[in-house]
């Protein structure tokens, strides 16, 4: 079935159907194969269709406005480099450049940027900000991260899992750690793609109940199962092990208390003993080695964390091309 994503917003992984997610990931794998810089990725059987007319790069003459309330390494560099590779231009707007809802209303910012740019990406604290930007913008808005979801990360994660496992449906994925924005998007992505997802977290730090309920509803149509537990032994036979920092940006005051609470909720040699021997290790980075993952485990052949980081760029490149061209 042909898909057309032209002009769409991407605020949640659930904004796209399974077919649409698969199409974006397929394009990303093709783009990566064309640009191949090594690593463990296998070339996609289908090359990217986005070569541009007459050698013209697919986003030539296009501009991406990047709104940042939170600093970032991967988000800024992957989007900015990606736009350069695709022939376009990215503009970085720091918190001091654009005080969302303070110096100007979010509505006015969305309307003004829509007159200048072809795409808007926002990395913000509150999810309501990207929702308001999308409400008023007349160009596609991409959620580069909010306190509720991190959908671009999950596109890259799905691509990375496919590179290692060559399938998504039926795989058993386990997320160990805080039930945060990444966990939310992982649950939605797993449910959409027919994966079995278990979130293992200390009592009181589970994902939002509304997210668990919605993920289970979505998963009912795809054969996915969604489980939330505090039992670390649940990771037995895992195909994918995923973790994230225990304290996200903005939670620094809780960091020491969380270290005590989360001390056993980590990926290390003990976790690997109960996982499948070929399980894929994922971490969206930055990593706090010795906390949620130990350094030695992060460097095992099973680890795909740097493929995962690279794939942020390829997945986002594919996303932007689809949002502009269809």
pLDDT single digits (tens) 185-237? 999 999 999 999 999 999 999 999 999 999 999 999 999 999 999 999 999 99
For the entire predicted model, the pTM comes to: 0.94
51 falls in which pLDDT band (50, 70, 90)? Answer: low
Q: How far apart are CA 211 and CA 175, in angstroms?
A: 15
Please, which residues have CB within 8 angstroms of residue 235's CB and are 6 or more apart in sequence? Answer: 174, 176, 198, 200, 241, 271, 274, 275
247 falls in which pLDDT band (50, 70, 90)? Answer: confident
Q: What is the mean pLDDT of residues 245-274?
A: 89
**Active site positions, annotated:** 123, 150, 153, 244, 284, 312
pLDDT digits (tens, 9 = 90+) for 199-213: 999 999 999 999 999
Please, which residues have CB within 8 angstroms of residue 271's CB and are 6 or more apart in sequence? Answer: 176, 232, 235, 241, 297
Residue-level pLDDT at 182: 98
Name residue, tokens 């991260």.
145
pLDDT exceeds 50 at position 41: no
Is 153-308 the same fold as 13-149+313-325?
Answer: yes
**What is the 8-class DSSP label of residue 54?**
G
Residue-level pLDDT at 25: 98
Residue-level pLDDT at 45: 43
Q: What is the CATH number of domain 13-149+313-325?
A: 3.40.50.1370
Domain boundaries in the chain? 13-149+313-325, 153-308
Which long-range CB contacts under 8 A does 76-82 form with residues at least 24 apart? 77/313, 78/312, 78/313, 78/316, 79/121, 79/144, 79/313, 79/316, 81/313, 82/313, 82/314, 82/316, 82/317, 82/320
The residue count of the chain comes to 326
Helices and strands of the chain, counted as H and E runs: 11, 9
* Chosen CATH of 153-308 out of 3.40.50.2300, 3.50.30.20, 3.40.50.1370, 1.10.10.10: 3.40.50.1370
Question: Do 111 and 139 form a contact (C-beta atoms < 8 A)?
Answer: no
**Which two three-digit tokens encode residue 325?**
């061209």
Tell me which residue of 227, 226, 297 sits closest to 266, measured CA to CA: 297
55 falls in which pLDDT band (50, 70, 90)? Answer: low
Phi-psi region of 72 (alpha: psi -120 to 50; beta: other; left: phi over 0): beta
Containing 166, the helix (H) or strand (E) segment is none
Distance of CA 142 to the CA centre of its chain: 11
36 falls in which pLDDT band (50, 70, 90)? Answer: confident
**Which two three-digit tokens encode residue 320?**
């932007």
**Lowest mean per-residue pLDDT among 4-8, 53-57, 124-128, 275-279:** 53-57
**Lowest mean per-residue pLDDT among 100-104, 121-125, 239-243:** 100-104
Question: Do 92 and 66 form a contact (C-beta atoms < 8 A)?
Answer: yes
Helix/strand/coil for 39: coil
| Arithmetic mean of pLDDT over the chain | 93
Biggest distance spanned by C-alpha atoms of the chain: 59
255 falls in which pLDDT band (50, 70, 90)? Answer: confident
181 falls in which pLDDT band (50, 70, 90)? Answer: very high
């Amino acid at each position: 079935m042909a898909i057309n994503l032209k002009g769409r917003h991407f605020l949640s992984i659930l904004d796209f159907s399974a077919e649409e997610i698969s199409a974006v990931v397929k394009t990303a794998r093709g783009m990566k194969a064309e640009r191949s810089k090594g690593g463990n990725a296998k070339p996609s059987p289908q090359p990217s269709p986005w070569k541009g007319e007459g050698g013209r790069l697919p986003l030539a003459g296009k501009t991406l406005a990047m709104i940042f309330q939170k600093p970032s390494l991967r988000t800024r560099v992957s989007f900015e480099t990606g736009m350069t590779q695709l022939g376009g231009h990215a503009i970085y707007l720091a918190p001091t450049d654009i005080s969302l809802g303070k110096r100007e209303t979010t509505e006015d910012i969305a309307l003004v940027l829509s007159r200048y740019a072809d795409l808007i990406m926002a990395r913000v604290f509150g999810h309501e900000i990207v929702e308001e930007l999308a409400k008023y913008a007349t160009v596609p808005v991409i959620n580069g991260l909010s306190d509720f979801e991190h959908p671009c990360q999950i596109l890259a994660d799905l691509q990375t899992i496919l590179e290692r496992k060559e399938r998504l449906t039926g795989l058993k994925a386990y997320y160990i750690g805080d039930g945060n924005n990444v966990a939310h998007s992982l649950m939605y992505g797993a449910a959409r793609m027919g994966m079995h997802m278990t979130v293992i977290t200390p009592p009181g730090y589970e994902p939002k109940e509304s997210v668990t309920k919605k993920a289970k509803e979505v998963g009912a149509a795809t054969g996915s199962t969604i489980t939330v537990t505090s039992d670390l032994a649940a990771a037995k036979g895992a195909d994918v092990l995923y973790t994230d920092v225990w304290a996200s940006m903005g939670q620094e005051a809780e960091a020491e208390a969380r270290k005590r609470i989360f001390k056993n909720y980590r990926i290390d040699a003990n976790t690997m003993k109960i996982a499948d021997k070929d399980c894929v290790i994922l971490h969206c980075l930055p990593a706090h080695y010795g906390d949620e993952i130990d350094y030695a485990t992060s460097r095992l052949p099973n680890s795909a964390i740097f493929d995962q980081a690279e794939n942020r760029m390829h997945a986002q490149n594919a996303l932007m091309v689809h949002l502009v061209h269809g």
